[in-house]
Amino acid sequence: MKLTLLGTGDAPGTPVIGCSCPQCEYARTNHVQRLRTSLLVQHQGAHILIDTSPDLRQQLLLNGSPKIDAVIWTHGHYDHFMGFGDFYRVQKMPDVYAAPEVLAYCGNIFKFLPFRRCPVEPYHSFDISGLSVTLVEVNHPPAYTCGVVISDGETRIGYTADTRADIPAASLQAFTGVDLLFIDALVPPQFNIPKHMNYREACEVAGRIGASEFRCVHMSHHVAWDLPNTGKDGETFCFGTG
């Protein structure tokens, strides 16, 4: 299993249009970005995308133009699904897996596109291309939102880009002991946002879960570039041989 962070940013991305803060200036000077958060999972020749960000076209071009076989939508916020239309006339529309209400909401916005809709209940594992995938509910009010646990039988990955720290116990249990966790860290420790975690909370949750390794994602331009365990766009992680 190979994982690639296609984006690590929040809804506006970094640099933010028109912003001259130190992080945005650094991004322009050094030609780095935090595109909107999305994770590419490769396994045995298949490509699965967690969330279809508004930067999807650019993200696929920057990462070898993979043909995407399946998409998982975590929730119906603009920065997590609105890039789905970028598949149109480029490749066969991928199958989409999501919790029923997320699929209904996002699918309705893309009702003009033909694609296979696969509603899946949280906490019930299903198979995509030989990977076991489980959606788990997180806490990102008022949007109904799921995180994702993916296993190839040897390695387990956890992903939750948008959540508060008070994640339901059943979901914390599902994330326990993952080999790698991707976790929401929207803002630095001194900020508190009711729908998201700050950097300190993200590190605490990763510790509580007992993740072997973790990367912060969904970071705003307030988050310094050099904090430990912050994900980088284009960063890859390889496990096993598949």
Rule CB under 5 A: which residues touch Zn ion? 16, 19, 21, 24, 77, 79, 162, 221
Q: How far is the CB of 23 from Zn ion (least distance, A)?
A: 5
Per-residue DSSP letter, 93: P
Assign 160 to helix, strand or coil. strand
- In the bound state with Zn ion, the residue whose beta carbon lies nearer, of 180 and 186, is 186
- In the bound state with Zn ion, the residue whose beta carbon lies nearer, of 156 and 218, is 218
- In the bound state with Zn ion, the residue whose beta carbon lies nearer, of 34 and 221, is 221
User: Alpha-carbon distance 92 to 76, whole Å?
Assistant: 22
Cα Rg, the chain, nearest whole Å: 17
Structure tokens at 151: 């296993």
Q: How far is the CB of 64 from Zn ion (least distance, A)?
A: 25
Q: Give the helix ranges, DSSP H, for the chain.
A: 22-30, 56-62, 78-81, 100-109, 169-175, 199-209
Closest CA to 72 of 43, 100, 95, 42: 95
Cβ–Cβ < 8 Å for 5, 32: no
- In the bound state with Zn ion, the residue whose beta carbon lies nearer, of 19 and 46, is 19
Q: How far is the CB of 212 from Zn ion (least distance, A)?
A: 25
- In the bound state with Zn ion, the residue whose beta carbon lies nearer, of 9 and 242, is 9
Q: How far is the CB of 11 from Zn ion (least distance, A)?
A: 5
- In the bound state with Zn ion, the residue whose beta carbon lies nearer, of 1 and 167, is 167
Cβ–Cβ < 8 Å for 178, 208: no
Which residue do the tokens 């529309």 mark? 93
Q: How far is the CB of 82 from Zn ion (least distance, A)?
A: 11
Cα dihedral angle (229, 241, 128, 13), rounded to 10 degrees?
Answer: 30
Q: How far is the CB of 103 from Zn ion (least distance, A)?
A: 16
Sign of CA dihedral 92, 94, 100, 102: negative
